[in-house]
Chain A
Amino acid sequence: MKTVDIAVTGLGLVTPAGIGVQATWDGLLSGRSLAATDEQLAGLPVDFSCRVPDFDPTARLGRRLSWRIDRFIQMGLVAAREAVTDAGWDPAAWDGARVAVVLGNGSGGNDQAQRDYELLNRGRYKAISPLCITRAVSNMLAGELSADLQALGPSLVTSTACASGGTAIGVARGLLASSMCDIVITGGSESVCRPMPAAGFGQMGALSTRVHDPAGACRPFDADRDGFVLGEGAGILVLERLPDARARNAPVRALVAGYGASADGYHFSSPDPEGQGVVRAIHAALADAGLSPSDIDHINAHGTSTQQNDLAEARALCSVFGTPPPVTANKSVLGHSIGGAGAIEAAVTVLSLQHRTIPPIANLDRLDPEIDLDVVTKAPRSQQLRAALSNSIGFGGQNAVLAFQTP
């Protein structure tokens, strides 16, 4: 039952389509995958990814800060500063104790872990960096952001694998609704464009092996899909209660109308083939928002391009909606940034509502005959949009669904 409207007043994005909200939106509208051979993955069975181009952390954050934090924190900071500026806030001026930080991350950072483990294995303990833990553990994403922005209220990281970013936004909304804070910096950040995730997810059989054609590798809901594509990025949203946003005349991009979370309880890595956990999360989000399935005009799907996920998600959507509204899947263009993905896609859902435009799914040439969805392909689709869902489905059967509405 909805008690208070929560407004999105700021957005910040760092994605393989570029740095800044506009770059990502433009990249998504182009409908072309950004996956490419990745020299950091040279020699691995899967040697391509979607990497953020030309990201210079020292130029953006200063060397004093950039040297001691992993890439997922660097990207999170850059996106957060953009989002706060977009919301019209000056961190020097706000009441920091009333500003919370809730961010999603699945596996922390891994920029220097390989080097430090090599030193450990060789017994060279005194050569290991004293920053090996603080630069890489998940919670430091929120810790560093809180310090950087002097956001001194509750500060935490949610970790639900591929759903972490969506979970963070749902939890953040709850903090605002219960008046534990007045502003929340929320979203998620992660990079898995590194050898260990490439090897580990590869061994799971979760990655596309289309090494001869990286740009054609991520093809959600397509009959020829064969796995997800490693990615990286950060998505940050600034949330406030709607009356507070109105009182300071802040532009309201959209409302976070509802949040639903669930667990499959089915298998540690495979989704429930019928998507029953996702169905429960969608129903919970709709109930939270006070909306019915017929109110939803668009779905930003989790759509990873694995055989199992896309089929289960499509079944879940058909189960709830009968004939689901138009669907997109941003991972086809941006790859899968795990803890960043749900947050980036939530931000894109907000942009879709604002621009009344659904960006297309890249590489969807032939819809899987077992999947009956109205998929947006080839070109953006313009239409009236009042409410939309953003789905996130994590390994471990952890699901997060967010409902957004126009203000």
Chain B
Amino acid sequence: MTTTYERIAGLLTEHLGVPEDIIRPDATLTDLELDSLSIVELSVIIQEEFGVELSEEDLKPTLGEFCRIVEQRRDGSEAMGADSSRQDVSTTPTRP
């Protein structure tokens, strides 16, 4: 089974074009040369892929620590039976 770290490393390469050779557990997102908008994009992708909502604070530590945060949140939300990525869905449809 693919680990959360491997999946996120894959997203960094495939989606954001981060070179594989600079992706390490102790690298910060700054080390991965991600600018502020790329970091928001990453949080959007992780929300889509893992159903985990992340704050700016969550994205500050190293890649390894941040993958653990994703794992913890994911386990927590699965335990509650909730899908946090859908929490912001409006209940009022804007179109018929």
Interface of A toward B, CB cutoff 8 Å: 58, 62-68, 121-131, 134
Task: Name 27 A/B residue pairs within 8 A (Cβ), A-sorted.
Answer: A58-B17, A63-B17, A65-B17, A68-B37, A68-B38, A121-B94, A121-B95, A122-B90, A122-B94, A123-B88, A123-B92, A123-B94, A124-B86, A124-B88, A124-B89, A126-B44, A126-B47, A126-B88, A127-B44, A127-B47, A127-B48, A128-B44, A129-B41, A129-B44, A130-B40, A131-B41, A134-B37
Known A68-B38, A121-B94, A121-B95: A127·B15 in contact at CB below 8 Å: no
Interface of B toward A, CB cutoff 8 Å: 13-18, 37-38, 40-41, 44, 47-48, 53, 85-86, 88-90, 92, 94-95
Q: Which of B13, B15, B44, B53 contacts A130 (CB 8 A)?
A: B44
Tell me whether B17 and A66 are in contact (CB under 8 A).
Answer: yes
Tell me whether A67 and B16 are in contact (CB under 8 A).
Answer: yes
Tell me the bound Cα distance from A124 to B47 in angstroms: 11
Chain A proximity of B16: nearest CB distance (Å):
6
Chain A proximity of B77: nearest CB distance (Å):
15
B48 CB contacts on chain A under 8 angstroms? 127
Q: Which of B15, B44, B85 contacts A67 (CB 8 A)?
A: B15
Total inter-chain residue pairs, C-beta < 8 Å: 50
Smallest CB gap from B17: residue in A:
A63
Tell me the bound Cα distance from A121 to B53 in angstroms: 20
Tell me the bound Cα distance from A131 to B16 in angstroms: 12
B86 CB contacts on chain A under 8 angstroms? 124
Chain B proximity of A400: nearest CB distance (Å):
35
Tell me the bound Cα distance from A64 to B44 in angstroms: 17
B18 CB contacts on chain A under 8 angstroms? 64
A66 CB contacts on chain B under 8 angstroms? 17
B41 CB contacts on chain A under 8 angstroms? 68, 129-131
Tell me the bound Cα distance from A121 to B41 in angstroms: 20
Chain A proximity of B55: nearest CB distance (Å):
11
A122 CB contacts on chain B under 8 angstroms? 89-90, 94
A124 CB contacts on chain B under 8 angstroms? 86, 88-89
B44 CB contacts on chain A under 8 angstroms? 126-130
Tell me whether B17 and A62 are in contact (CB under 8 A).
Answer: yes
Tell me the bound Cα distance from A122 to B94 in angstroms: 7
Tell me whether A126 and B94 are in contact (CB under 8 A).
Answer: no
Tell me the bound Cα distance from A131 to B39 in angstroms: 11
Beyond A66-B17, A123-B89, list 14 extra A-B contacts (CB 8 Å).
A63-B14, A63-B17, A64-B16, A122-B94, A124-B88, A124-B89, A126-B47, A126-B88, A127-B44, A127-B47, A127-B85, A130-B40, A130-B44, A131-B41
Tell me the bound Cα distance from A66 to B47 in angstroms: 22
Chain A proximity of B95: nearest CB distance (Å):
6
Tell me the bound Cα distance from A262 to B37 in angstroms: 41
Most chain B beta-carbon neighbours within 10 Å: one of A64, A66, A125 = A64
Smallest CB gap from B90: residue in A:
A123
A125 CB contacts on chain B under 8 angstroms? 88
Tell me the bound Cα distance from A134 to B17 in angstroms: 18
B38 CB contacts on chain A under 8 angstroms? 68
B17 CB contacts on chain A under 8 angstroms? 58, 62-67
Smallest CB gap from A65: residue in B:
B17
Tell me the bound Cα distance from A121 to B95 in angstroms: 7
Chain B proximity of A57: nearest CB distance (Å):
11
Tell me the bound Cα distance from A123 to B14 in angstroms: 27
Chain A proximity of B88: nearest CB distance (Å):
5
Tell me the bound Cα distance from A105 to B41 in angstroms: 26
Chain A proximity of B92: nearest CB distance (Å):
8
Tell me the bound Cα distance from A123 to B91 in angstroms: 8
B90 CB contacts on chain A under 8 angstroms? 122-123
Tell me whether A126 and B89 are in contact (CB under 8 A).
Answer: no
A121 CB contacts on chain B under 8 angstroms? 94-95
B94 CB contacts on chain A under 8 angstroms? 121-123
